Amino acid sequence: MRYRYEKDVLGKVKVPVDAYYGSETQRALENFNISSIHMDALFIESYAALKMACAKANMHTGKLDKKIGEAIVESCRMIMNGGLRDQFVTDVFQAGAGTSTNMNVNEVIANLSIEKLGGRRGNYKIVHPNDHVNMSQSTNDTFHTVIHISVYKKIKKELIMSLDRLERSLMKKSYEFNGITKVGRTHLQDAVPITAGQEFYGYSGAILKARENVESAIKLLIEVPLGGTAVGTGINATPEYQKLAIKELNTITGERFRRSKNTFGMMQNQLEESAVSDALKGAAITLGKIANDVRLLASGPTAGINELVIPAVQPGSSIMPGKINPSIAEMVNMVVFQVLGSSRTIDEAAHAGQLELNVFMPVIAYNLLFSASILSRAADVFSQKCINGIKINESTVHKMLSANLSIATALTPYIGYAKAAEIARIAYTKNKSIKEVCLEMKIMEEAELDKILDPSLMV
Protein backbone atom coordinates (compact mmCIF):
# COMPACT_ATOMS: atom_id res chain seq x y z
CA MET A 1 0.00 0.00 0.00
CA ARG A 2 1.22 3.48 -0.86
CA TYR A 3 0.79 6.40 1.54
CA ARG A 4 0.68 10.17 1.60
CA TYR A 5 1.69 12.28 4.57
CA GLU A 6 -0.61 14.84 6.14
CA LYS A 7 0.13 17.17 8.99
CA ASP A 8 -2.07 18.17 11.91
CA VAL A 9 -1.48 19.87 15.24
CA LEU A 10 0.11 16.70 16.65
CA GLY A 11 2.50 16.14 13.76
CA LYS A 12 2.72 14.05 10.61
CA VAL A 13 0.20 11.28 9.86
CA LYS A 14 0.61 8.51 7.29
CA VAL A 15 -2.62 8.10 5.31
CA PRO A 16 -3.30 5.55 2.52
CA VAL A 17 -2.75 7.43 -0.74
CA ASP A 18 -6.10 6.29 -2.16
CA ALA A 19 -8.11 7.26 0.91
CA TYR A 20 -10.54 10.16 0.70
CA TYR A 21 -10.35 10.58 4.46
CA GLY A 22 -7.41 12.37 6.07
CA SER A 23 -5.27 12.70 9.16
CA GLU A 24 -7.95 12.99 11.84
CA THR A 25 -9.81 9.98 10.51
CA GLN A 26 -6.57 8.02 10.34
CA ARG A 27 -5.80 8.88 13.96
CA ALA A 28 -9.31 7.76 14.92
CA LEU A 29 -8.75 4.45 13.12
CA GLU A 30 -5.57 3.90 15.12
CA ASN A 31 -6.98 5.07 18.44
CA PHE A 32 -10.47 3.60 18.35
CA ASN A 33 -10.18 0.13 16.84
CA ILE A 34 -12.92 -1.09 19.16
CA SER A 35 -15.90 -2.72 17.49
CA SER A 36 -15.73 -2.43 13.69
CA ILE A 37 -19.23 -0.96 13.96
CA HIS A 38 -19.72 2.18 11.88
CA MET A 39 -22.46 4.78 11.87
CA ASP A 40 -25.66 3.93 10.01
CA ALA A 41 -25.59 4.80 6.30
CA LEU A 42 -28.55 7.14 6.78
CA PHE A 43 -26.57 9.03 9.42
CA ILE A 44 -23.74 9.64 6.93
CA GLU A 45 -26.16 10.65 4.19
CA SER A 46 -27.87 13.05 6.60
CA TYR A 47 -24.50 14.53 7.57
CA ALA A 48 -23.76 15.13 3.90
CA ALA A 49 -27.15 16.82 3.52
CA LEU A 50 -26.31 19.09 6.45
CA LYS A 51 -22.88 19.94 5.01
CA MET A 52 -24.53 20.81 1.70
CA ALA A 53 -27.01 23.10 3.46
CA CYS A 54 -24.21 24.81 5.37
CA ALA A 55 -22.13 25.32 2.24
CA LYS A 56 -25.08 26.89 0.44
CA ALA A 57 -25.77 29.18 3.40
CA ASN A 58 -22.12 30.21 3.61
CA MET A 59 -22.02 30.96 -0.12
CA HIS A 60 -25.15 33.07 0.21
CA THR A 61 -23.62 35.16 3.00
CA GLY A 62 -20.43 35.58 0.97
CA LYS A 63 -18.16 33.80 3.45
CA LEU A 64 -17.50 30.81 1.19
CA ASP A 65 -15.97 31.15 -2.28
CA LYS A 66 -18.57 30.06 -4.83
CA LYS A 67 -16.22 27.76 -6.78
CA ILE A 68 -15.22 25.94 -3.60
CA GLY A 69 -18.79 25.93 -2.35
CA GLU A 70 -20.17 24.39 -5.54
CA ALA A 71 -17.54 21.66 -5.39
CA ILE A 72 -18.55 20.92 -1.81
CA VAL A 73 -22.23 20.81 -2.78
CA GLU A 74 -21.54 18.33 -5.60
CA SER A 75 -19.41 16.18 -3.30
CA CYS A 76 -22.18 16.13 -0.71
CA ARG A 77 -24.70 15.13 -3.35
CA MET A 78 -22.55 12.16 -4.32
CA ILE A 79 -22.33 10.99 -0.70
CA MET A 80 -26.07 11.48 -0.21
CA ASN A 81 -26.60 9.13 -3.15
CA GLY A 82 -24.52 6.42 -1.50
CA GLY A 83 -21.10 7.23 -2.89
CA LEU A 84 -17.83 6.47 -1.10
CA ARG A 85 -19.56 4.51 1.63
CA ASP A 86 -16.34 2.60 2.38
CA GLN A 87 -14.59 5.86 3.30
CA PHE A 88 -16.66 6.46 6.44
CA VAL A 89 -14.65 4.27 8.72
CA THR A 90 -14.73 5.71 12.24
CA ASP A 91 -15.84 3.38 15.01
CA VAL A 92 -19.05 4.13 16.90
CA PHE A 93 -17.00 4.02 20.11
CA GLN A 94 -14.78 7.04 19.54
CA ALA A 95 -13.76 10.39 20.95
CA GLY A 96 -16.61 12.20 22.66
CA ALA A 97 -19.27 14.27 20.90
CA GLY A 98 -18.62 12.65 17.50
CA THR A 99 -15.65 14.79 16.48
CA SER A 100 -14.05 11.84 14.67
CA THR A 101 -17.17 11.22 12.60
CA ASN A 102 -17.60 14.92 11.80
CA MET A 103 -13.99 15.16 10.66
CA ASN A 104 -14.30 11.92 8.69
CA VAL A 105 -17.19 13.53 6.80
CA ASN A 106 -15.34 16.84 6.44
CA GLU A 107 -12.18 15.16 5.10
CA VAL A 108 -13.98 12.97 2.57
CA ILE A 109 -15.96 15.93 1.28
CA ALA A 110 -12.80 18.08 1.13
CA ASN A 111 -10.75 15.54 -0.79
CA LEU A 112 -13.57 14.75 -3.18
CA SER A 113 -14.00 18.50 -3.77
CA ILE A 114 -10.25 18.91 -4.30
CA GLU A 115 -10.38 16.31 -7.07
CA LYS A 116 -13.37 18.03 -8.64
CA LEU A 117 -11.30 21.22 -8.76
CA GLY A 118 -8.34 19.43 -10.40
CA GLY A 119 -6.17 18.90 -7.32
CA ARG A 120 -4.75 15.84 -5.57
CA ARG A 121 -6.11 14.37 -2.36
CA GLY A 122 -4.51 15.91 0.69
CA ASN A 123 -3.88 19.33 -0.89
CA TYR A 124 -6.01 21.24 1.59
CA LYS A 125 -4.87 24.59 0.24
CA ILE A 126 -7.57 24.06 -2.38
CA VAL A 127 -10.39 22.89 -0.08
CA HIS A 128 -9.83 22.59 3.66
CA PRO A 129 -11.86 20.20 5.87
CA ASN A 130 -12.14 22.73 8.71
CA ASP A 131 -11.92 26.13 7.05
CA HIS A 132 -14.27 25.36 4.16
CA VAL A 133 -16.36 22.22 4.73
CA ASN A 134 -16.82 22.89 8.46
CA MET A 135 -17.26 26.66 8.05
CA SER A 136 -19.68 28.22 10.60
CA GLN A 137 -20.04 24.83 12.28
CA SER A 138 -18.91 22.72 15.22
CA THR A 139 -19.20 19.01 15.85
CA ASN A 140 -21.33 19.96 18.83
CA ASP A 141 -24.20 21.52 16.89
CA THR A 142 -23.91 19.51 13.66
CA PHE A 143 -23.64 16.00 15.13
CA HIS A 144 -26.62 16.70 17.39
CA THR A 145 -28.59 18.03 14.44
CA VAL A 146 -27.75 14.98 12.33
CA ILE A 147 -29.05 12.70 15.10
CA HIS A 148 -32.38 14.48 14.81
CA ILE A 149 -32.42 14.36 11.00
CA SER A 150 -31.43 10.73 10.62
CA VAL A 151 -33.53 9.31 13.47
CA TYR A 152 -36.57 11.30 12.35
CA LYS A 153 -36.22 10.03 8.76
CA LYS A 154 -35.47 6.45 9.81
CA ILE A 155 -38.49 6.18 12.06
CA LYS A 156 -40.83 8.08 9.75
CA LYS A 157 -39.94 6.10 6.63
CA GLU A 158 -39.27 2.68 8.14
CA LEU A 159 -40.54 1.96 11.63
CA ILE A 160 -43.89 3.75 11.48
CA MET A 161 -44.68 2.08 8.17
CA SER A 162 -43.68 -1.34 9.53
CA LEU A 163 -45.83 -0.93 12.64
CA ASP A 164 -48.71 0.18 10.44
CA ARG A 165 -48.39 -2.96 8.32
CA LEU A 166 -48.25 -5.16 11.41
CA GLU A 167 -51.30 -3.43 12.89
CA ARG A 168 -53.25 -4.07 9.68
CA SER A 169 -52.19 -7.75 9.65
CA LEU A 170 -53.42 -8.17 13.21
CA MET A 171 -56.67 -6.38 12.43
CA LYS A 172 -57.25 -8.66 9.44
CA LYS A 173 -56.85 -11.68 11.71
CA SER A 174 -59.25 -10.07 14.17
CA TYR A 175 -61.96 -10.04 11.49
CA GLU A 176 -61.08 -13.55 10.37
CA PHE A 177 -61.28 -15.03 13.88
CA ASN A 178 -64.18 -12.97 15.23
CA GLY A 179 -66.67 -15.86 15.15
CA ILE A 180 -64.45 -18.22 17.15
CA THR A 181 -65.22 -18.18 20.88
CA LYS A 182 -62.45 -19.50 23.12
CA VAL A 183 -61.32 -19.64 26.72
CA GLY A 184 -59.97 -16.34 28.01
CA ARG A 185 -57.02 -16.51 30.37
CA THR A 186 -55.83 -14.33 33.25
CA HIS A 187 -52.94 -15.26 35.57
CA LEU A 188 -52.38 -18.13 33.08
CA GLN A 189 -55.61 -19.64 34.46
CA ASP A 190 -58.96 -20.18 32.76
CA ALA A 191 -61.13 -17.06 32.62
CA VAL A 192 -64.41 -16.06 31.02
CA PRO A 193 -64.74 -16.55 27.27
CA ILE A 194 -63.42 -14.22 24.62
CA THR A 195 -63.37 -14.52 20.85
CA ALA A 196 -60.08 -15.12 19.11
CA GLY A 197 -60.99 -12.05 17.06
CA GLN A 198 -61.22 -9.93 20.20
CA GLU A 199 -57.84 -11.21 21.33
CA PHE A 200 -56.24 -10.16 18.04
CA TYR A 201 -58.17 -6.90 18.11
CA GLY A 202 -56.40 -6.22 21.39
CA TYR A 203 -53.04 -6.90 19.75
CA SER A 204 -53.81 -4.57 16.84
CA GLY A 205 -54.90 -1.83 19.23
CA ALA A 206 -51.70 -2.15 21.25
CA ILE A 207 -49.55 -1.83 18.13
CA LEU A 208 -51.62 1.15 16.97
CA LYS A 209 -51.03 2.88 20.31
CA ALA A 210 -47.31 2.10 20.20
CA ARG A 211 -47.12 3.57 16.69
CA GLU A 212 -48.95 6.72 17.78
CA ASN A 213 -46.53 7.12 20.70
CA VAL A 214 -43.55 6.85 18.35
CA GLU A 215 -45.11 9.34 15.93
CA SER A 216 -45.65 11.78 18.79
CA ALA A 217 -42.10 11.37 20.10
CA ILE A 218 -40.32 12.06 16.81
CA LYS A 219 -42.07 15.42 16.52
CA LEU A 220 -39.65 16.54 19.23
CA LEU A 221 -36.79 16.02 16.77
CA ILE A 222 -38.05 18.78 14.49
CA GLU A 223 -36.17 21.32 16.61
CA VAL A 224 -32.39 21.29 15.98
CA PRO A 225 -29.43 23.18 17.47
CA LEU A 226 -27.79 23.97 14.12
CA GLY A 227 -26.05 27.32 14.34
CA GLY A 228 -25.26 26.98 18.02
CA THR A 229 -21.69 25.88 17.09
CA ALA A 230 -19.53 24.99 20.11
CA VAL A 231 -21.60 25.86 23.19
CA GLY A 232 -24.84 27.43 21.94
CA THR A 233 -23.63 31.02 21.51
CA GLY A 234 -23.32 30.68 17.75
CA ILE A 235 -19.70 31.83 17.68
CA ASN A 236 -18.35 32.04 14.07
CA ALA A 237 -21.89 31.71 12.69
CA THR A 238 -23.86 34.80 11.72
CA PRO A 239 -27.62 35.08 12.42
CA GLU A 240 -28.21 35.19 8.67
CA TYR A 241 -26.30 31.94 8.23
CA GLN A 242 -28.28 30.25 11.01
CA LYS A 243 -31.59 31.00 9.30
CA LEU A 244 -30.33 30.13 5.83
CA ALA A 245 -28.70 26.86 6.87
CA ILE A 246 -31.95 25.46 8.28
CA LYS A 247 -33.92 26.78 5.31
CA GLU A 248 -31.51 25.02 2.92
CA LEU A 249 -31.62 21.88 5.07
CA ASN A 250 -35.40 21.74 4.73
CA THR A 251 -35.17 22.21 0.97
CA ILE A 252 -32.70 19.33 0.72
CA THR A 253 -34.47 16.93 3.09
CA GLY A 254 -38.05 17.84 2.29
CA GLU A 255 -38.77 18.18 6.01
CA ARG A 256 -39.64 21.14 8.24
CA PHE A 257 -36.86 21.39 10.80
CA ARG A 258 -36.57 24.56 12.84
CA ARG A 259 -33.94 26.00 15.15
CA SER A 260 -34.33 25.30 18.84
CA LYS A 261 -35.84 28.10 20.89
CA ASN A 262 -33.18 27.43 23.52
CA THR A 263 -30.01 26.23 21.82
CA PHE A 264 -28.09 26.12 25.09
CA GLY A 265 -30.58 23.73 26.68
CA MET A 266 -30.71 21.47 23.66
CA MET A 267 -26.92 21.25 23.35
CA GLN A 268 -26.51 20.50 27.04
CA ASN A 269 -29.07 17.69 27.01
CA GLN A 270 -30.44 14.75 25.06
CA LEU A 271 -34.05 15.12 26.17
CA GLU A 272 -35.54 14.58 22.73
CA GLU A 273 -33.42 11.51 22.09
CA SER A 274 -34.42 10.08 25.47
CA ALA A 275 -38.11 10.59 24.68
CA VAL A 276 -37.74 8.83 21.33
CA SER A 277 -35.84 6.01 23.01
CA ASP A 278 -38.68 5.58 25.50
CA ALA A 279 -41.19 5.37 22.64
CA LEU A 280 -39.06 2.75 20.87
CA LYS A 281 -38.83 0.81 24.11
CA GLY A 282 -42.61 0.94 24.46
CA ALA A 283 -43.07 -0.34 20.92
CA ALA A 284 -40.59 -3.14 21.59
CA ILE A 285 -42.34 -4.19 24.80
CA THR A 286 -45.68 -4.26 22.98
CA LEU A 287 -44.25 -6.31 20.14
CA GLY A 288 -42.57 -8.68 22.58
CA LYS A 289 -45.79 -9.27 24.53
CA ILE A 290 -47.60 -10.29 21.35
CA ALA A 291 -44.73 -12.58 20.35
CA ASN A 292 -44.86 -14.18 23.81
CA ASP A 293 -48.59 -14.79 23.45
CA VAL A 294 -48.14 -16.34 20.02
CA ARG A 295 -45.47 -18.70 21.35
CA LEU A 296 -47.64 -19.69 24.31
CA LEU A 297 -50.87 -20.19 22.38
CA ALA A 298 -49.02 -22.20 19.71
CA SER A 299 -47.22 -24.40 22.26
CA GLY A 300 -47.50 -28.14 21.82
CA PRO A 301 -48.73 -29.62 19.62
CA THR A 302 -49.58 -32.45 22.06
CA ALA A 303 -48.37 -31.14 25.42
CA GLY A 304 -49.17 -27.43 25.13
CA ILE A 305 -52.11 -25.10 24.53
CA ASN A 306 -52.10 -25.68 20.76
CA GLU A 307 -54.79 -23.09 19.97
CA LEU A 308 -52.79 -21.33 17.29
CA VAL A 309 -51.24 -23.01 14.28
CA ILE A 310 -48.34 -20.88 13.10
CA PRO A 311 -46.53 -21.15 9.74
CA ALA A 312 -43.59 -23.54 9.70
CA VAL A 313 -40.61 -21.56 8.41
CA GLN A 314 -37.72 -23.94 9.12
CA PRO A 315 -36.85 -27.18 10.94
CA GLY A 316 -36.79 -26.65 14.67
CA SER A 317 -34.20 -29.09 15.89
CA SER A 318 -30.88 -30.58 14.87
CA ILE A 319 -31.67 -33.78 16.79
CA MET A 320 -35.47 -34.17 17.00
CA PRO A 321 -36.98 -34.98 13.59
CA GLY A 322 -40.09 -33.08 12.59
CA LYS A 323 -39.93 -30.55 15.41
CA ILE A 324 -41.20 -27.12 14.43
CA ASN A 325 -40.51 -24.09 16.61
CA PRO A 326 -42.06 -20.59 16.80
CA SER A 327 -38.89 -19.27 15.19
CA ILE A 328 -40.23 -15.91 14.02
CA ALA A 329 -41.69 -15.05 17.42
CA GLU A 330 -38.40 -16.06 19.06
CA MET A 331 -36.53 -13.71 16.73
CA VAL A 332 -38.91 -10.91 17.71
CA ASN A 333 -38.22 -11.54 21.39
CA MET A 334 -34.47 -11.27 20.83
CA VAL A 335 -34.90 -7.99 18.96
CA VAL A 336 -36.95 -6.73 21.89
CA PHE A 337 -34.19 -7.64 24.34
CA GLN A 338 -31.67 -5.75 22.21
CA VAL A 339 -33.87 -2.65 22.01
CA LEU A 340 -34.33 -2.69 25.78
CA GLY A 341 -30.57 -2.91 26.20
CA SER A 342 -30.03 -0.09 23.73
CA SER A 343 -32.56 2.02 25.62
CA ARG A 344 -30.61 1.51 28.84
CA THR A 345 -27.42 2.57 27.05
CA ILE A 346 -29.14 5.74 25.80
CA ASP A 347 -30.44 6.51 29.29
CA GLU A 348 -26.97 6.15 30.79
CA ALA A 349 -25.36 8.25 28.06
CA ALA A 350 -28.04 10.94 28.27
CA HIS A 351 -27.72 11.46 32.01
CA ALA A 352 -23.90 11.50 31.87
CA GLY A 353 -23.71 14.80 29.98
CA GLN A 354 -21.82 17.58 31.70
CA LEU A 355 -22.04 21.37 31.55
CA GLU A 356 -22.44 22.73 27.99
CA LEU A 357 -22.31 19.42 26.11
CA ASN A 358 -23.20 15.76 26.18
CA VAL A 359 -20.09 14.08 24.80
CA PHE A 360 -21.73 10.65 24.46
CA MET A 361 -23.76 11.48 21.37
CA PRO A 362 -22.16 8.84 19.10
CA VAL A 363 -23.42 5.90 21.18
CA ILE A 364 -26.83 7.57 21.51
CA ALA A 365 -27.05 8.05 17.75
CA TYR A 366 -25.98 4.49 17.01
CA ASN A 367 -28.41 2.87 19.43
CA LEU A 368 -31.39 4.96 18.34
CA LEU A 369 -30.83 4.15 14.67
CA PHE A 370 -30.03 0.51 15.36
CA SER A 371 -33.14 0.06 17.50
CA ALA A 372 -35.36 1.70 14.88
CA SER A 373 -33.84 -0.47 12.14
CA ILE A 374 -34.19 -3.84 13.86
CA LEU A 375 -37.66 -3.04 15.19
CA SER A 376 -38.78 -2.13 11.66
CA ARG A 377 -37.44 -5.34 10.18
CA ALA A 378 -38.71 -7.52 13.01
CA ALA A 379 -42.23 -6.06 12.73
CA ASP A 380 -42.30 -6.70 8.99
CA VAL A 381 -41.00 -10.26 9.25
CA PHE A 382 -43.41 -10.97 12.12
CA SER A 383 -46.40 -9.87 10.06
CA GLN A 384 -45.25 -11.47 6.79
CA LYS A 385 -43.95 -14.82 8.03
CA CYS A 386 -46.03 -15.40 11.14
CA ILE A 387 -49.16 -13.31 11.72
CA ASN A 388 -50.45 -13.44 8.14
CA GLY A 389 -50.32 -17.25 8.13
CA ILE A 390 -51.73 -17.96 11.60
CA LYS A 391 -54.72 -20.29 11.80
CA ILE A 392 -56.93 -21.38 14.71
CA ASN A 393 -57.02 -25.01 15.83
CA GLU A 394 -60.81 -24.98 16.26
CA SER A 395 -61.10 -28.51 17.65
CA THR A 396 -58.73 -27.66 20.49
CA VAL A 397 -60.46 -24.33 21.11
CA HIS A 398 -63.90 -26.00 21.30
CA LYS A 399 -62.67 -28.79 23.59
CA MET A 400 -61.12 -26.33 26.05
CA LEU A 401 -64.16 -24.04 25.94
CA SER A 402 -66.56 -26.86 26.73
CA ALA A 403 -64.58 -27.68 29.87
CA ASN A 404 -64.17 -24.08 31.00
CA LEU A 405 -65.28 -23.66 34.63
CA SER A 406 -65.07 -19.87 34.53
CA ILE A 407 -68.38 -19.69 32.69
CA ALA A 408 -69.85 -20.01 36.18
CA THR A 409 -69.22 -16.26 36.31
CA ALA A 410 -72.36 -15.82 34.18
CA LEU A 411 -74.44 -17.35 36.99
CA THR A 412 -73.35 -14.72 39.55
CA PRO A 413 -76.14 -12.19 38.78
CA TYR A 414 -78.71 -14.96 39.36
CA ILE A 415 -77.37 -16.94 42.31
CA GLY A 416 -74.57 -14.80 43.77
CA TYR A 417 -70.80 -15.10 43.80
CA ALA A 418 -70.55 -17.62 46.66
CA LYS A 419 -72.99 -20.12 45.14
CA ALA A 420 -71.38 -19.80 41.71
CA ALA A 421 -67.94 -20.42 43.28
CA GLU A 422 -69.27 -23.52 45.03
CA ILE A 423 -70.63 -24.87 41.74
CA ALA A 424 -67.27 -24.25 40.03
CA ARG A 425 -65.42 -26.06 42.85
CA ILE A 426 -67.75 -29.08 42.69
CA ALA A 427 -67.44 -29.21 38.89
CA TYR A 428 -63.66 -29.21 39.16
CA THR A 429 -63.41 -31.86 41.90
CA LYS A 430 -65.97 -34.16 40.23
CA ASN A 431 -64.67 -33.52 36.70
CA LYS A 432 -68.08 -32.41 35.51
CA SER A 433 -69.33 -29.44 33.54
CA ILE A 434 -70.92 -26.39 35.16
CA LYS A 435 -74.19 -27.25 33.51
CA GLU A 436 -74.16 -30.81 34.83
CA VAL A 437 -73.60 -29.65 38.41
CA CYS A 438 -76.32 -27.00 38.11
CA LEU A 439 -78.82 -29.57 36.91
CA GLU A 440 -77.86 -31.98 39.71
CA MET A 441 -78.31 -29.18 42.26
CA LYS A 442 -81.56 -28.10 40.57
CA ILE A 443 -80.33 -24.51 40.31
CA MET A 444 -82.65 -23.75 37.37
CA GLU A 445 -84.24 -25.29 34.31
CA GLU A 446 -82.01 -26.64 31.53
CA ALA A 447 -83.36 -24.22 28.91
CA GLU A 448 -82.53 -21.26 31.12
CA LEU A 449 -79.08 -22.70 31.87
CA ASP A 450 -78.39 -23.16 28.17
CA LYS A 451 -79.17 -19.51 27.60
CA ILE A 452 -77.12 -18.20 30.53
CA LEU A 453 -74.12 -20.49 29.96
CA ASP A 454 -73.89 -20.01 26.20
CA PRO A 455 -70.25 -18.82 25.70
CA SER A 456 -71.16 -16.94 22.55
CA LEU A 457 -73.42 -14.67 24.61
CA MET A 458 -70.61 -13.87 27.07
CA VAL A 459 -68.33 -12.15 24.55
Instruction: Enumerate the active-site residues.
Output: 317
Q: How would you classify the pairing of strands 223-224 and 258-259?
A: parallel
Nearest one of 287, 266, 269 to 222, comparing CA atoms: 266
CA distances from 361 to 27, 49, 399, 414 (A): 20, 19, 56, 64
Which residues, 6+ apart, have CB-to-CB distance to 253 below 8 Å? 46, 49, 149, 153
From the number of C-beta atoms within 10 Å of its C-beta (0-12, 13-18, 19+), residue 354 rates as exposed
Element (H, E) at 8: strand 3-8
Task: DSSP letter for 185, please.
Answer: E
Cα radius of gyration rounded to whole Å, the chain: 30
Q: Are 129 and 118 in contact (CB under 8 A)?
A: no
Helices (H), 177-326: 196-218, 239-253, 263-268, 271-297
Helix (H, G, I), strand (E, B) or coil at 77: helix
Rounded CA gap, 406 and 185, in Å?
Answer: 10
